[in-house]
């Protein structure tokens, strides 16, 4: 299983990692936000490479700029790249490391909640290409992932909620006990001590699924819960609004819609749907969609890269902790789930 270190002193933990792996040079990749807000917590860890923040910069040009910086800085196969940032930095930095000189070692230090519980763990790296998200990439695990929840103090409330949606997903995949505990967490006034414990539990759920199926041939598809409808809502929103929707909001709504499908199709208890929906609507509101948008949303689901052929591939629950992958759902039921989501 991938090594994940939990610490409140990122500089000391990174220094231990560097001593252990003894690279000839250390490079730190950050974006302009994490350079300003987080880099000082690492002290002088290595030569800094800075890229633009946001998913819009997760491109081949940015990737090439990182390769160039590594090359000009004299990186060798024995160098180490430290990715300090959210999912965009760890995905792109991981891919830069996976490909530079056929692969150099890298360490992920996620600075967002979403990055900690999802992107930085599990070895998915890549960039957007040809208008599609994460279209080009590789499976390559970081040598270590360093989790320092001190970085969460730099996050605003919407980004905290965004990451929490993936934690809610992990709790649904894990057990009824973990799911109930996640619904009780006060997301409006978070206790960071409690959050730290929940983050560790959440990462452990993801790690154990990834360890069973690192290349997503089977059970790793469980991590797609909430994402088939969630990704469609995210792409639809981003095509119609200037400001991008935070990924976790789309996932939270996708979870509710897909729990609706499960309640109808797998006999998942309706109280799992009702309690999760109440939590999501209280903290994330509802998506601004109308029934005229259903065709477009369905079309986006048909293009999900996790599908095979023309079948939309859903992950459904039978019960928290009891997951069914590769499930087919009829269009009429999908429409009903969207009705439920927008309270129609
Ligand atoms: N984000 C889902 C996965 O890593 O498989």
To test the pocket of ligand 1, the residue of 168, 224, 250 to mutate (highest count of ligand atoms within 8 Å of its CB) is 224
Q: Of 156, 147, 206, 155, which is closest to residue 178 (Cα–Cα)?
A: 206
Low-confidence ranges of the chain (pLDDT < 70): none
pLDDT at residue 261, as a whole number? 98
**Ligand 1 contact via 118 beta carbon (within 6 Å):** yes
Cβ(41)–Cβ(72) below 8 Å: no
pLDDT at residue 2, as a whole number? 84
To test the pocket of ligand 1, the residue of 211, 220, 230 to mutate (highest count of ligand atoms within 8 Å of its CB) is 220
What is the distance between the alpha carbons of residues 247 and 101, in angstroms, rounded to a whole number? Answer: 32
Calculate how far, in angstroms, residue 74's C-alpha sits from the geometric centre of ligand 1: 33
Percent of the chain beyond pLDDT 90? Answer: 87
Q: Whose alpha carbon is nearest atom 4 of ligand 1?
A: 122
Calculate how far, in angstroms, residue 71's C-alpha sits from the geometric centre of ligand 1: 30
What is the distance between the alpha carbons of residues 142 and 83, in angstroms, rounded to a whole number? Answer: 10
pLDDT at residue 26, as a whole number? 97
Query: Model pTM greater than 0.85?
Result: yes
Cβ(110)–Cβ(86) below 8 Å: yes
Q: Whose alpha carbon is nearest atom 2 of ligand 1?
A: 223
**Ligand 1 contact via 124 beta carbon (within 6 Å):** yes
For 81, phi then psi, to 5°, come to -105, 130
**311-329: per-residue pLDDT in tens?**
899 999 999 999 999 999 9
Q: Whose alpha carbon is nearest atom 3 of ligand 1?
A: 223
**Ligand 1 contact via 220 beta carbon (within 6 Å):** yes
């Amino acid at each position: 299983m991938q090594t994940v270190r939990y610490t409140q002193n990122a500089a000391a933990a990174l220094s231990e990692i560097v001593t252990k792996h003894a690279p000839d040079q250390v490079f730190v990749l950050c974006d302009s936000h994490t350079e300003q807000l987080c880099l000082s917590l690492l002290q002088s860890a290595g030569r800094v490479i800075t890229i633009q923040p946001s998913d819009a910069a997760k491109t081949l040009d940015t990737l090439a700029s990182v390769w160039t910086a590594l090359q000009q800085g004299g990186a060798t196969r024995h160098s180490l790249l430290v990715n300090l940032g959210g999912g965009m930095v760890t995905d792109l930095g991981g891919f830069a490391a996976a490909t530079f000189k056929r692969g150099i070692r890298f360490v992920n230090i996620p600075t967002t909640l979403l990055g900690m519980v999802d992107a930085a763990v599990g070895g998915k790296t890549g960039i957007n290409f040809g208008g599609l998200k994460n279209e080009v990439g590789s499976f390559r695990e970081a040598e270590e992932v360093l989790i320092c929840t001190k970085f969460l103090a730099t996050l605003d409330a919407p980004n905290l909620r965004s990451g929490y949606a993936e934690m809610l997903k992990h709790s649904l995949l894990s057990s009824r006990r973990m799911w109930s505990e996640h619904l009780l967490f006060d997301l409006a006034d978070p206790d960071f001590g409690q959050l730290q414990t929940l983050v560790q539990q959440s990462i452990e759920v993801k790690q154990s699924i990834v360890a069973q199926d690192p290349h997503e041939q089977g059970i790793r598809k469980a991590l797609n819960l909430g994402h088939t409808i969630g990704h469609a809502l995210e792409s639809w929103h981003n095509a119609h609004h200037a400001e991008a929707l935070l990924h976790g909001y789309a996932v939270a709504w996708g979870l509710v819609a897909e729990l609706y499908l499960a309640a109808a199709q797998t006999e998942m208890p309706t109280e799992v749907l009702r309690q999760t929906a109440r939590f999501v609507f209280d903290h994330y509101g509802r998506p601004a969609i109308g029934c005229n948008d259903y065709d477009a949303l369905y079309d986006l689901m048909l293009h999900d890269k996790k599908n095979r052929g023309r079948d939309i591939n859903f992950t459904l629950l039978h019960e928290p902790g009891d997951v069914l992958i590769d499930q087919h759902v009829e269009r009429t039921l999908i429409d009903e789930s969207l009705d439920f989501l927008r309270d129609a």
